[in-house]
Amino acid sequence: FPISGKTGTSNNNESTWVVGHTTGLATAAWYGDPLGDQHRPGQNVTINGKFYTSIDGYQIAGPMFAKYMLQVAPGYGTNPFPAPPTNMVSGTPAATPKTPAAPTTQATVPAPQPSAPAAPGNGDKKG
């Protein structure tokens, strides 16, 4: 049946998720620390006996989402999605301005000038 979904992954793979819908049901699946510890990266971890170098939305949350939707969505409606409005699919592209953008001005910074060489010291380490 037709289904739409989008995955997501937080920084360091600490949380991953899938959000999706059919014509009759919308749901989400999430993987992360239930206590909210966002300093526990989802990298180099073993989950249910399987080792993951890193976790993305489709690896754990994805199968949870798919299993749930396969079992529950048929009871809520799995009709085909309606066709999008034609102007979204075959509309006219937005006009591009023919004049280039005004150039930005940048401050001119003078080049550094070399300083005069220091006078030789007399060996007393005081210059």
Domain regions of the chain by residue span: 4-82
Q: How far is CA 60 from the centre of its chain?
A: 17
- Report field, pTM of the whole predicted structure over 0.95: no
Report which secondary-structure segment, H or E, holds 66: helix 61-72
Which residues sit opposite 120 in a β-bridge? none
Instruction: Indicate the pLDDT class of residue 103, thresholds 50, 70 and 90.
Output: low
Instruction: Indicate the pLDDT class of residue 97, thresholds 50, 70 and 90.
Output: confident
Per-residue burial over 71-102, b if 16 or more Cβ lie within 10 Å, else e, is eebeeeeeeeeeeeeeeeeeeeeeeeeeeeee
C-alpha closest to that of 27 among 60, 72, 57, 58: 72
For the chain, what percent of residues have pLDDT higher than 90? 39
Report the C-alpha gap between 11 and 31 in whole angstroms. Answer: 13
C-alpha closest to that of 13 among 55, 48, 65: 55
Number of H helices, E strands in the chain: 2, 5
DSSP annotation of 72: H
As a whole number, mean pLDDT of residues 84-95 equals: 77
Residue 49 reports pLDDT greater than 60: yes
